[in-house]
Chains A and B, each alone.
Chain A
């Protein structure tokens, strides 16, 4: 049943990260996590992983509002890195600003726009994306 090996969470809110991770564990969502607290940290590490040819995450839950490098900047940079395997990116944010929703659509690599908080239902729906 487990389709996702590595789930990546990029968010500066430790409570959210804790909660999400907890729900993922409860729902047996994935086997391991990669957790970054801002875009810069995530970009650097993920680029290194991709370049090294190590195991890359199948999906990323990306927050928009972060210090150092926000979600948008991360997207700009990250989508330029060529990958062999498709990485599903979900924007998970507390912003319900329609402008943000529209902007997210501009990125082809973004699969969905999820408004916080994340719930079991939402995770289940994401999982269905990986059912082939």
Chain B
């Protein structure tokens, strides 16, 4: 198992790739990071999920990919994220419908003690199972070979016990397999040829059977019936992983013995032998060459005669050949030594050579015979046996499960790593040792089972509880069965066990989880649903029915279920999704609207997945949840968010949020635009101090410190009033990133939590540059106006003083001149001069009045009785009225008082009344009527006459203008109404006029009303 913490992805991947590509296993590889996002997946993995690389990698999380089935692997995911390697087996179904048996490994990716993710390796062990089948087939082949061998073949272990025998052995010795297996090989020899115990210990095994030749020149086999027969025994040591064995080929040579009798016929027999039999001189010259040799080696006797034997051996084999020959020359027979020879056509063959000396009649060795046997097939069989054993061993050792292989004595032949791990046998030498020796606690019941299995039974158990000698407890599942050396020939036991304690624990957990899930579903109002497409059945859980507001007894069907969805979008969506589930094995997760049986509109979330068998969708299932409230709440929140965002990011309003200590937490778009900083440069880094002119903050701090009698500075300056529960709105100067400044109106509000505690502040600032600019413009305009007004006053002063004094002087001097010289009074020049001087004086007086008028007198207004004032004015013009035969009616109530200035009121009344007299109509009896009524805040004085009237359309706009006359009267100055209007307005009143030519005029004068 890979060591935790040292895995890196490349290494893992290359290891996996090498391992599984060479084995042609379609291992699925993937890497999920700690957030369960897929970062790497090989094609096999991606195909399994039926997704494309783009859809899977860097996109989805494991729970999303797996949907509900994520729960099944969740414990392993949690385990691996806790840094532990996870391994589990399961049967999975591929997108093409085939089911494979897999072993899944999760390896944590640990860097500096932190799990960053994990590697997934899913190996298809279906192939390993196939290997197992292959193995047994190779074993069968081996058995076949064994069975078809012409000799009796006996394989014994170092103890001399027979392990394997073939059919020939049974036939030759008359014993059945079961009678032979496990027994000492000596049973095949006559008593007299057997070794004694001492000899056996001295090394029978190093030279089995042959040792007996010391006792007799010829070997004999002992038949079950007690008869003896001559045999030829060839032994071969075999080293297997579990130790050395000896294989002995025993051939009945009874017939050969008989042939010796017929020595004369030997040549014929040799010639007809299927073996290649040749003879040669001691030096190597070929003397004879039978048909078998011709057939085996390709040379005819004519071709090879007289040639040296070395022609037939590869150069590297010659030395060995010479050695063997040397043995023969010493009188030995070299039985079946294996070597290789070159055929005529150049191909090399494995052969077994038996060398025998040929003596002349005097007993001298004159030549050597060679019996050459083609053992190519045999060699292959042996190799195959070795390979089989090798694979056997590998299979057992590498098996992901706990497997052990025992011989018939319950001694270990092989054990898998898992077996060693599961039974805590690490570091113990177990091979060759008895199972019972290693586990003394194994009871008689088990021994009985083993015994039965050694007789061919199979014992399986799905789960059994064990208590070990060390007190630990385990749940075990097992399978004990015999393994066969050959058909019906049991070689030992294979035990397969699995520690399912974890599985049992998981099962219990699963039940708990299911129970919790059930309850959770109930509480969370999660219902389930299932569509069995085979049986055409639809199942709804109680909650699902409740959500649909149907009776508990309601039996749903697919169409009925679809009909609950709101017509239009929801129904179309769900139908499309169902089709995709059935046809494309897509998962379902939709938020949809349904109309319940009680006609209520609900939002539901339907989640589901499809189950496929052999590429056909059999079943759809999933959960169903009422999300109406969540949905509504979410929509409300979304809407609110939208609105809030719009406000927050609106134009040129800077909104800056801080925590309660002043650290900026929000910096809206407006703030970015106005202040030139990006939110990222500010948030969590600065306080508003960055944006203010320090001197202003210090100054404000001083004010606050004075006000509250303690030092208030820094951020406190902006929020102290809020902490006191007051309102904070002030003009400040903001400093932009580039150092430029601009004035703002900053309103600061406190952000409070549910308990009413201040958790932060919000400063909303508006750029008031424009306002300030306008204010400044206004002020400058005011300054100009004030200045001009001042100059106007100066002008008034000049007019009143200087001009008046000069004109006064002229008038006075003129008067004196006339007084001194009475004769000039009639002089036309003097009289014109006098008149001009008078006009000048009057003009100046009028101008003076106009200028002075603009000063407001409102604060100096006093209550004046209107009736009395009219009486006085009428008195003043009585002479004039009498001359014009004008009747003046004073209809104003005696108690009416207005707010005004007596001098102005006098002037106003005189002006209107004298105007009325001046512009009287001569063809009718003229009158002037004055009346007053209270109207809202005013006293309305109406002055009505039946005089000439004014064309309002034509002159209306100019009526109250300066120097305007309308009637051509000689004494019209054109200034009266202008002054009058100004006087009225100076007292806070207004004047309106209605007039019709040759009918009369009505002046409406509004005076401020004295509330008494």
Nearest-CB distance from B733 to chain A (Å)? 44
Q: Are A95 and B809 in contact (CB under 8 A)?
A: no
17 pairs, A vs B, C-beta closer than 8 Å: A15-B809, A16-B805, A16-B812, A18-B813, A19-B812, A19-B813, A19-B816, A94-B802, A96-B845, A97-B796, A97-B797, A98-B852, A116-B804, A117-B808, A117-B809, A117-B811, A119-B812
In the bound assembly, the distance between CA atoms of A94 and B798 in angstroms comes to: 10
In the bound assembly, the distance between CA atoms of A119 and B845 in angstroms comes to: 17
Nearest-CB distance from B752 to chain A (Å)? 60
Q: Which of B796, B797, B809, B816 contacts A23 (CB 8 A)?
A: B816
Q: Map CB proximity to B onto A50-89 as digits: 1 under 8 Å, 0 otherwise.
A: 0000000000000001000000000000000000000000
The reply on B641 being an interface residue by CB < 8 A is no
Q: Which residue of A lies closest to B805 (CB)?
A: A94
Q: Map CB proximity to A onto B785-826 as digits: 1 under 8 Å, 0 otherwise.
A: 000000000001100111011001101110110010000000
The reply on A22 being an interface residue by CB < 8 A is yes
Q: Which residue of B lies closest to A25 (CB)?
A: B816
The reply on A35 being an interface residue by CB < 8 A is no
In the bound assembly, the distance between CA atoms of A127 and B802 in angstroms comes to: 28
Q: Map CB proximity to A onto B99-114 as digits: 1 under 8 Å, 0 otherwise.
A: 0000000000000000
The reply on A6 being an interface residue by CB < 8 A is no
The reply on B848 being an interface residue by CB < 8 A is yes
Nearest-CB distance from A105 to chain B (Å)? 15
Q: Which of A19, A65, A93, A96 contacts B809 (CB 8 A)?
A: A19
In the bound assembly, the distance between CA atoms of A117 and B813 in angstroms comes to: 10
Q: Are B813 and A15 in contact (CB under 8 A)?
A: yes
What residues on B are CB-neighbors of A93 within 8 Å?
Answer: 801
Nearest-CB distance from B133 to chain A (Å)? 130
Nearest-CB distance from B737 to chain A (Å)? 57
In the bound assembly, the distance between CA atoms of A15 and B801 in angstroms comes to: 15
Q: Are B852 and A94 in contact (CB under 8 A)?
A: no
The reply on A13 being an interface residue by CB < 8 A is yes
Q: Which residue of A lies closest to B802 (CB)?
A: A94
The reply on A118 being an interface residue by CB < 8 A is yes
Q: Are A96 and B800 in contact (CB under 8 A)?
A: yes
Nearest-CB distance from A61 to chain B (Å)? 13
Q: Which residue of A lies closest to B809 (CB)?
A: A15
What residues on A are CB-neighbors of B819 within 8 Å?
Answer: 26
Q: Which residue of B lies closest to A64 (CB)?
A: B801
In the bound assembly, the distance between CA atoms of A47 and B498 in angstroms comes to: 142
Q: Map CB proximity to B onto A5-26 as digits: 1 under 8 Å, 0 otherwise.
A: 0000000010110111011001
Q: Are A96 and B812 in contact (CB under 8 A)?
A: no
Considering only residues 768-798 of chain B, those with a C-beta below 8 Å from chain A are 796-797
What residues on B are CB-neighbors of A23 within 8 Å?
Answer: 812, 816
Q: Which residue of B lies closest to A100 (CB)?
A: B800
Q: Are A97 and B812 in contact (CB under 8 A)?
A: no
Q: Map CB proximity to A onto B825-867 as digits: 1 under 8 Å, 0 otherwise.
A: 0000000000000000000010010001000000000000000
Q: Are B848 and A13 in contact (CB under 8 A)?
A: no
Nearest-CB distance from A101 to chain B (Å)? 11
In the bound assembly, the distance between CA atoms of A16 and B811 in angstroms comes to: 11
Task: Report B's interface with A, CB cutoff 8 A.
Answer: 796-797, 800-802, 804-805, 808-809, 811-813, 815-816, 819, 845, 848, 852
Q: Which of B796, B809, B811 contacts A13 (CB 8 A)?
A: B809
In the bound assembly, the distance between CA atoms of A20 and B801 in angstroms comes to: 17
Residue among B796, B808, B848 having the largest count of chain A Cβ atoms under 10 Å: B808
What residues on B are CB-neighbors of A119 within 8 Å?
Answer: 812, 815
Nearest-CB distance from B856 to chain A (Å)? 13
What residues on A are CB-neighbors of B797 within 8 Å?
Answer: 95, 97
Q: Are A97 and B816 in contact (CB under 8 A)?
A: no
Q: Are A22 and B816 in contact (CB under 8 A)?
A: yes
What residues on A are CB-neighbors of B848 within 8 Å?
Answer: 96
Q: Which residue of A lies closest to B796 (CB)?
A: A97
What residues on B are CB-neighbors of A97 within 8 Å?
Answer: 796-797, 800, 852
Q: Are A96 and B804 in contact (CB under 8 A)?
A: yes
What residues on B are CB-neighbors of A98 within 8 Å?
Answer: 852
Residue among A20, A23, A94, A98 having the largest count of chain B Cβ atoms under 10 Å: A94
Q: Which residue of A lies closest to B901 (CB)?
A: A98
In the bound assembly, the distance between CA atoms of A97 and B816 in angstroms comes to: 27
In the bound assembly, the distance between CA atoms of A118 and B812 in angstroms comes to: 8
Nearest-CB distance from A28 to chain B (Å)? 13
Q: Which residue of A lies closest to B816 (CB)?
A: A22
In the bound assembly, the distance between CA atoms of A18 and B816 in angstroms comes to: 10
In the bound assembly, the distance between CA atoms of A18 and B809 in angstroms comes to: 10
In the bound assembly, the distance between CA atoms of A19 and B816 in angstroms comes to: 7
Q: Which of A22, A26, A65, A116 contacts B808 (CB 8 A)?
A: A116
Nearest-CB distance from A119 to chain B (Å)? 8
* Given contacts A16-B809, A116-B808, A94 and B816 within 8 Å (CB-CB): no
Nearest-CB distance from B815 to chain A (Å)? 8
Beyond A94-B802, A116-B808, 19 additional contacts (C-beta under 8 Å) are A15-B813, A16-B805, A18-B813, A19-B809, A20-B812, A22-B816, A23-B812, A23-B816, A26-B819, A94-B800, A94-B801, A94-B805, A96-B800, A96-B848, A116-B804, A116-B805, A117-B809, A117-B812, A118-B812
* Given contacts A26-B819, A116-B808, A95 and B801 within 8 Å (CB-CB): yes
Q: Which residue of A lies closest to B849 (CB)?
A: A96
Q: Which residue of A lies closest to B819 (CB)?
A: A26
In the bound assembly, the distance between CA atoms of A19 and B809 in angstroms comes to: 7
What residues on A are CB-neighbors of B808 within 8 Å?
Answer: 16, 94, 116-117
Nearest-CB distance from A103 to chain B (Å)? 14
The 9 closest A-B pairs by CB, nearest first: A117-B808, A94-B805, A94-B804, A19-B812, A117-B812, A15-B809, A116-B808, A94-B801, A22-B816
Q: Which residue of B lies closest to A15 (CB)?
A: B809
What residues on A are CB-neighbors of B845 within 8 Å?
Answer: 96
In the bound assembly, the distance between CA atoms of A120 and B446 in angstroms comes to: 163
Q: Are A13 and B805 in contact (CB under 8 A)?
A: yes
Nearest-CB distance from B743 to chain A (Å)? 41
In the bound assembly, the distance between CA atoms of A95 and B852 in angstroms comes to: 12
Considering only residues 86-126 of chain A, those with a C-beta below 8 Å from chain B are 93-98, 116-119
In the bound assembly, the distance between CA atoms of A95 and B812 in angstroms comes to: 17
In the bound assembly, the distance between CA atoms of A80 and B859 in angstroms comes to: 34
In the bound assembly, the distance between CA atoms of A117 and B812 in angstroms comes to: 7
Q: Which residue of A lies closest to B845 (CB)?
A: A96
Residue among A18, A65, A96 having the largest count of chain B Cβ atoms under 10 Å: A96
Nearest-CB distance from B304 to chain A (Å)? 164
Q: Which residue of A lies closest to B815 (CB)?
A: A119
Nearest-CB distance from A37 to chain B (Å)? 15
Q: Are A65 and B801 in contact (CB under 8 A)?
A: yes
Considering only residues 18-53 of chain A, those with a C-beta below 8 Å from chain B are 18-20, 22-23, 26
In the bound assembly, the distance between CA atoms of A96 and B816 in angstroms comes to: 24
Q: Which residue of A lies closest to B808 (CB)?
A: A117
Residue among A19, A20, A65 having the largest count of chain B Cβ atoms under 10 Å: A19
In the bound assembly, the distance between CA atoms of A119 and B808 in angstroms comes to: 10
Q: Are B816 and A26 in contact (CB under 8 A)?
A: yes
What residues on A are CB-neighbors of B800 within 8 Å?
Answer: 94-97
In the bound assembly, the distance between CA atoms of A82 and B797 in angstroms comes to: 34
Nearest-CB distance from B789 to chain A (Å)? 15
Nearest-CB distance from B971 to chain A (Å)? 23
What residues on A are CB-neighbors of B815 within 8 Å?
Answer: 119
Residue among A18, A22, A65 having the largest count of chain B Cβ atoms under 10 Å: A22
Nearest-CB distance from A10 to chain B (Å)? 15
Residue among A18, A22, A117, A119 having the largest count of chain B Cβ atoms under 10 Å: A117
Nearest-CB distance from A91 to chain B (Å)? 13
Nearest-CB distance from B836 to chain A (Å)? 15
What residues on A are CB-neighbors of B812 within 8 Å?
Answer: 16, 19-20, 23, 117-119
What residues on B are CB-neighbors of A19 within 8 Å?
Answer: 809, 812-813, 816
Nearest-CB distance from A33 to chain B (Å)? 16
In the bound assembly, the distance between CA atoms of A13 and B807 in angstroms comes to: 13
In the bound assembly, the distance between CA atoms of A116 and B841 in angstroms comes to: 11
In the bound assembly, the distance between CA atoms of A16 and B830 in angstroms comes to: 20
Q: Which residue of A lies closest to B903 (CB)?
A: A98
What residues on A are CB-neighbors of B802 within 8 Å?
Answer: 94
Q: Which residue of B lies closest to A116 (CB)?
A: B808
What residues on A are CB-neighbors of B809 within 8 Å?
Answer: 13, 15-16, 19, 117
